[in-house]
Structure 1
Amino acid sequence: MLSRRCLLLSLMLSLMLLINTVHSWRACTDLLPLDLLERALPRPGQAPPPQVQIVQSKGSRGLRLAGAMATALSFSASQIFSNCDFFPAEFSLVATVQTPRLRQKRNEYIFSLVEEASDSLVLGLRVSENRLHLLVSGANPEGRSRISFKDVGLDDNRWHTVVLAVTGPYVTLTVDCGLPLELKQVQSFPSSLSTRDSRFFIGSRKRLRGRFSGLLRQLVLLPGSDATSRLCPTSDPRLAELSVPRVLKAPLIQPDQLAPEFPYEAEARVTLGTRPLCSEPELGQLWLNAQSRGFFICDGVRWRTLLHHQERLDYVEDYQDLYTSSETFDVEVFSVPSEGLFMAAANRDSRPGSGLYKWRNGSFTLYQNISTQEARAWKHFSIDGKVFLVVANSREVEPELSVIYRWHQRRRRFLRHQTLETHSALDWESFSIHNHSFLVVANHRRARDSNHNIHSVIYRWNPNTQLFEVNQTLSTSGAYDWEFFSVGPYHFLAVANTFDGRTTAISSTVYVWLSGSFQIFQSIPTLGATDWETFQIDGRFFLAVANSQKVCERGPSLYSINSTVYELNTLTHSFIRFQDILTHSAVDWEFFTVGEEKFLVVANSHDGSSYSLNSVLYRWQGYEGFVPVHSLPTFGCRDWEHFSTDEGSFLVYSSATSRLSKVFKLRTF
């Protein structure tokens, strides 16, 4: 009887112990998300440890351990396991970290759980070169196990959010809400991993060796479930949030504070030498260009100027001889995203047509031939991210057609998109008003009757058909060029009228956009106008006309005549004469800047006896207007274009009487 009572008492004691154990285990798994990083930080009002810094990197803040201590961020495990002594058997860990490049065999702890008396590791999350490790004590007879995920790519100096979920023998890793990686262990995670008399250390293993050198933004323990579904999907998976400490999200300086609560710095790396890559990983990095004496910051797409030595033009250098397939009437320099810089040449001959050149290794090389019919001008434009080129074909054969080409990303070529009827077209202009895209053609002369007094046409883009449709017609006389510009809320369109069938002494017209169409704003007397160039200097708006020749029914033609710069007078609401400049059959103006200096260069094409002339570069000198500073020998100069690359600033001119066009480099000091 006594033995039965002893046996019964023993069974009751065992049952009570089992119940207590189960109760404790359940209490651990029923815990809410535990922000380990927040718990390790001092409470509001307490002095922050000097070894902890707030660092802003790539737009987000994180904590970094500094100094000679590795225990600045720690707390007793009993603070979160108050009702039990066991680590939950099923859990997930969420960590948002930025880890620098780690050399081979270097290991750094994101966190560790350590027995205070023996310094033995109970649990740890460790990162090494391209790997992540979960270390667990008591998971096998040897006393410790290591679960390693390879090729995770965390040590790339970019923000990453990882979710490590443990369920029995399965361990799953999800990085930046991507595809989960799952490992199956021989032994399940210990169901009775004791946390008694243990302490959490954030960013270390209680010692300097193995201290985390990166930034910690988030560290959360979620018992009993996988946190992935709470985080993903998200618009920014690298910075997915479950719980981020308030000090990393609140304003650095509170209204009642004179300084930040924690030591603060914004991480910035300065690169020297040639232009480095600027993309999302380099966001916020700095570049010091000693050669050009400039200081730049990467915005994730391009380098933005912070400080820059204001360059001044010293002289113009002959840089490249560019031989085209035939005489060139126009050049258009433009960029295609992810492809680079291009130049389209409008060539006279129909075979092989006009050439498209690409800037490679510091010079233009032929990239594509495009079939054209006595091309006179190219215009580049973009609509909804799509890149187009339109050519003005001037060959007087029926039907007279000009063509719009569209860049094909896969084939990396311009392909025919749409044909439009034109009449000896000499120019196209593209513009946008109220998010609507337009094209206007300069129809010079109708082939069937040689009439110069015809309509030029404005086309409007139809987003449904993906084609241009006629929107408005305007009466022009030998139209040679269109120029669109805006002044405040007003939109203008200026046409250069060249010849009305009898004389070049006619008026060119400036139109203004009113009530959904262009209306006449001002008529300006011109002499064989071939180009308008608009520009702004110190809040003043200017319009320069290139006058090519004076042709009348009687008397000789004059080529050396004045071209004129007009300024918009806000009192009279009209363009008034500002400066006359002697030119020689001018056919183009190009305005550009070097540093803070403003320039105009004119294309002098003919003086009545020769095409070999100096085209002149003028510099803006305030009250004096534009004064000549450089004379550039040209032959049959037809068009100027200014462009800039990593190699510097350049001018290119086309020759309408020779296959040789030239690129000049603008040397500065």
Structure 2
Amino acid sequence: MERCSRCHHLLLLVLLLLWLSAAPAWAGTAPVDVLRALRFPALPDGVRRARGICPADVAYRVSRPAQLSAPTRQLFPGGFPKDFSLLTAVRARPGLQAPLLTLYSAQGVRQLGLELGRPVRFLYEDQTGRPQPPAQPVFRGLSLADGKWHRVAVAVKGQSVTLIIDCKKRVTRPLPRSARPVLDTRGVIIFGARILDEEVFEGDIQELSIIPGVQAAYESCDQKELECEGGWRERPQRQPSHRTQRSPKQQPPRLHRPQNQEPQAQVRELGAPQTAARPGEGSRHHSAPGVSPPQ
């Protein structure tokens, strides 16, 4: 009887070890505050504080010279999660069509990205090269570059990606990736730019987080009010009740755009993203800064 009990315990131990060895590396991944990880609170070059969605909120105004990047493994030491939520609160320069975030592999392949503008584009490419460019999700008819604040949630789960804007618009697109997708964390993650691309993000950003699982994306509307306390949310002041000559509507301040700023033609060392001339549309492989292909 005692021998059977020992055998039973040994079998349970073996099964536990097998389960742990089969568990994905991202199983213990914690939520990542991308803005903090990229040192936004320290106000690096091209970044300054600005008023957020509500008067008490702190946001960051990003101008064209801003260059912010970090090794992906520094943000995701346990691996990038298979299913995840991407949350952001952003106000892009009107008419902008530029990336908000881009993740490169060690070989310089764009694996993940969210592009703001009209339309909104979501990029995802796993270790098998899926989905191919024609199947990359595009959210036509939606714009995130109208000069207004927007709360955006992206939920990636299984074979689909869902985009939620201001808790009002929810659109789901197919994401035909492999059954066990993996994103390489030996590369670099870049804010607001792509390698060898002249388009860069300009505007205000208050939040940018990546959280394992999709629950955070779907619950973000329950946890955050779109309207600020007291009913203020970047709207014109109330007009006086008496009938007098009305003053023109108050417009939100124009986003600062530095003059005479030219995109850089060469890629800087790791720790600073870069902007340069746009390559052909079909090109997806670039040399990530400071990242060497594995031996």
Q: Quote the residue 1:204 is aligned against.
A: 193
Task: Select 2:26's aligned residue among 22, 25, 28.
Answer: 28
Whole-angstrom CA distance in 2 between matches of 1:67 and 1:100: 11
Q: Give the distance between the partners of 2:131 and 2:224, measured in 1 at CA.
A: 44
Q: Which residue of 1 aligns with 2:86?
A: 93
Deviations 1:385-436 (A, max 9, x none): xxxxxxxxxxxxxxxxxxxxxxxxxxxxxxxxxxxxxxxxxxxxxxxxxxxx
More strand by share: 1
CA distance in structure 2 between the aligned counterparts of 1:147 and 1:202, rounded to whole angstroms: 20
The alpha-carbon distance between structure 1 residues 194 and 234, as it changes in their structure 2 partners (threshold 3 A), is closer
Local SS of the residue matching 2:77: coil
Q: Deviations over 1:278-299 (max 9, x none)?
A: x97764xxxxxxxxxxxxxx5x
Query: Residue 38 of structure 1 aligns with which residue?
Result: 36
Instruction: Give the number of the structure whose residues are more often helix, by fraction.
Output: 2
Q: CA deviation at 1:143?
A: 6.5
Alpha-carbon shift at residue 228 of structure 1 (Å): 3.3
Q: Which of the numbers 47, 63, 69 marks the counterpart of 1:66? A: 63
- Looking at structure 1, the residues matched to 171 and 157 of structure 2 have their Cα atoms a distance apart, in angstroms, of 14
RCO (CA 8 Å, sep 6+): is it higher in 1 or 2? 2
The verdict on how the C-alpha distance between 1:42 and 1:127 changes in structure 2, with shifts beyond 3 A counting, is: closer
Instruction: Let me know the Cα RMSD of the aligned residues.
Output: 3.3
Pairs within 5 Å for 1:2-401:
22-23=22-23, 25=24, 27-41=25-39, 48-56=43-51, 59=55, 60-69=57-66, 71=67, 73-84=68-79, 87-102=80-95, 107-115=97-105, 118-129=107-118, 131-138=119-126, 139-140=129-130, 142=132, 145-185=135-175, 187-188=176-177, 191-206=180-195, 209-233=198-222, 236-237=225-226, 283=235, 298=236, 300-302=237-239, 341=243
CA deviation profile, 1:71-126 (whole Å, cap 9, x unmatched): 3x221111233234xx3221111011012221xxx63111010235x432111111
Distance across 2 between alignment mates of 1:190 and 1:210: 33
Length-normalised TM-score, structure 2:
0.64
SS of equivalent to 2:222 = coil
Number of aligned residues: 224
Residue pair 2:29, 2:81 contacting (<8 A) in 1 also: no
2:37–2:75 contact (8 Å) kept in structure 1 = no
Structure 2 CA distance for partners of 1:83 and 1:234, relative to 1, 3 Å: closer
What is the one-letter code of the residue matched to 1:174?
A: I
TM-score (norm 1): 0.30
Task: Specify the code of the residue in structure 1 equivalent to 2:245.
Answer: T
SS at match of 1:180: strand
- Deviation of the 1:161 alpha carbon: 0.8
SS at match of 1:227: helix
Match in the other structure for 2:279: none
Q: In the TM superposition, what is the alpha-carbon distance from 1:141 to its structure 2 partner? A: 6.7
Unpaired segments of 5 or more residues in structure 2?
1-17, 248-295
CA contact (8 A) 1:91 1:165 kept: yes
Give yes or no for contact 2:43–2:49 (8 Å, CA) kept in 1: no
Task: Encode CA deviations 1:518-557: one digit per residue, 9 max, x unaligned.
Answer: xxxxxxxxxxxxxxxxxxxxxxxxxxxxxxxxxxxxxxxx
